[in-house]
Amino acid sequence: MEVWNFLNLILKFICYLLVFGVVGTKLFLLHFRQHLPQTTIDYCEELFRKSARFGIFASVLMFFAMVGNFGGNLSSVFDSVMVELVLGEKAGEAMVLLLAGFFLCLMKSARHLFVINLVHLVGNFSILLSFAWVGHASKIWFNHPIIGRCSLCLPFLLARRFFTIATDV
């Protein structure tokens, strides 16, 4: 059914935006926290939490849209055979990994800031890994580990270079 293909595209776009909201905000905070006023830090942390909450909802919807796409009709969404079939595919595993990453990003504790930042980093890595699990990124990552590692390090190197140039002026 063509509705499922259209719904999958919309949900995938929404998931991309939410992943950018979660991972991008956390990386921004990790890199620039010491130079930001408290109001900006609070805003970024609220954006991080909202993106993670909506990410859970969007990833669950996307999983069931994939189940519906496999079955072809609305009743297949509730069919346990179709759910098991999707869970056996790489795309289904990636959706479970994405959901786990969003859940990890929602954990918070005021007492152990280091531990919770570590949990958030694991959640962010899980989210990024869910996108590398399927698609063109998996071919680069698993067949050429050096290229994959360089592609993960490149944003950090560029951000560091940009920050160095900005402080030299």
User: Residue 36: CB partners within 8 Å, gap ≥ 6?
Assistant: 29, 44
Tens-place pLDDT, residues 4-55: 778 888 888 888 888 888 888 888 888 888 888 999 989 988 998 899 999 9
pLDDT of residue 68: 85
% of the chain with per-residue pLDDT over 90: 7
With CA atoms as reference, report the closest residue to 25 among 124, 132, 129.
Answer: 124
Q: How confident is the model at residue 151, as a pLDDT?
A: 54
Q: Which residues contact 54 (CB under 8 A, 6 or more apart)?
A: 18
Give the least confident one: 65-69, 133-137, 139-143, 148-152.
Answer: 139-143
List the chain domain ranges.
2-134, 135-169
Q: Which residue has the higher pLDDT, 148 or 162?
A: 148
Which token pair is 113?
């800031």
pTM beyond cutoff 0.85? no
Average pLDDT over residues 84-105: 85
